[in-house]
Amino acid sequence: DYVLTEAKFVHKDDLNYPFEERGLQFGDGIYEVIRVYEGRYYLIEEHVERLFRSAEAVKLKVPFSKDEMYEQLNELLEKNQIQQDAKIYMQITRGSAPRDHAFPLNVTSNLYAYVQDLPRKIDLMAEGVSAITTPDVRWDWCYIKSLNLLPNVIAKQKASEQGCFEAILHKDGEVTECSSSNAYFVRDGKLYTHPAKENILHGCVRTRIKQFCKDEGIPFVEETFRVEDIQHADELFLTSSTAEVMPIVKVDGNLIQEGQVGPITRKMQQKYEQDAQ
């Protein structure tokens, strides 16, 4: 049983990745990225709940109950003696089976999770980042945190080639979210963001932003904004578990509000900081 690889023919048992693994062959799997501050999870329930929602949406069996999942994730931090800022990457694929698009019978899902140091992006959060805009060419079910990230990867690469931190995605001119974060637009004291429909990821940090707005009496308007509006924004920012509340000060080469970070963005950063403590 010889397999052709980029280097040479190797026996399938000597491959350094699984043979006929559905995550690799079809992107048939789901994932989560969970933030850890000083060795403690932030928004762990939100992430575990979303993982189970993603699994259910694609009929994938999570090998643990929710309670077991919490236990295992805590043990992962303990075993690695994590006391610093970090992130967990966790993925579950449908498993290994002879290649067939339809779900194989009797396949067992593969789960793996690891922890990695992730310092906070303090300087970027203070100054803000630049972004590009690019069409959202993804499928209709982006609320599922699936492993099919090629459109996201391509969008982020385009941003990166232009020296930018993120790519703001739009469908027919309406901003959906970013390649790996949610997008927000502030005008006249109101915060706008795409409604939590099936075509965006329902960010765990996004749910907190909604709460922070409620706490502060800032209208949280779940309505889309358009690419043409971006240049006239009072403020723009993005959120994710790895980027926290990140101001966007330049889009497609043009400064927004002369590159100044606005008061609502600062307030959201403060609230996040308190919440994550």
| Closest distance to ligand PDD from the beta carbon of 175 (Å) | 12
Bridge partners, 185 (sequence order): 192, 236
Count of residues engaged in binding ligand PDD, rule: CB under 6 A: 15
Instruction: Look up tokens 């994932």; give the residue.
Output: 31
Q: Is 169 helix (H, G, I), strand (E, B) or coil?
A: strand
Q: Quote the CA–CA distance of 94 and 60 in Å, as a whole number.
A: 6
Per rule CB under 6 A, is residue 128 in the interface with ligand PDD? Answer: no
* Active-site annotation holder among 12, 121, 145, 250: 145
Contact characters 221-260, ligand PDD, x per CB under 6 A:
------------------xxxx------------------
**SS3 call for 119:** coil
* Residue 182 engages ligand PDD in binding (rule: CB under 6 A): yes
What is the bridge-based pairing of β-strands 235-240 and 110-117? unpaired
Residue in the shown chain whose Cβ atom is closest to ligand PDD: 203
Cα(207)–Cα(241) distance, integer angstroms: 12
Query: How many separate helices (H) and strands (E) can be counted in the chain?
Result: 7, 15
In terms of DSSP bridges, do strands 190-192 and 166-171 run parallel, antiparallel, or are they unpaired? unpaired
In angstroms, give the least distance from the CB of 254 to ligand PDD.
24
Distance CA 237, CA 185 (A): 7
Stretch touching ligand PDD by CB under 6 A, among 12-20, 73-81, 177-185, 216-224:
177-185
CA torsion angle 73 76 77 78 (round to 10): 120
The region of 93-101, 186-194, 201-209, 248-256 touching ligand PDD under the rule CB under 6 A is 201-209
Residue choice 92, 205, 233, 245 for contact with ligand PDD (CB under 6 A): 205
To ligand PDD, the closest distance from the beta carbon of 33 in angstroms equals 4
145 noted as active-site residue: yes
Active site residues: 145
Chain residues binding ligand PDD by CB under 6 A are 33, 152, 177, 180-182, 201, 203-206, 239-242
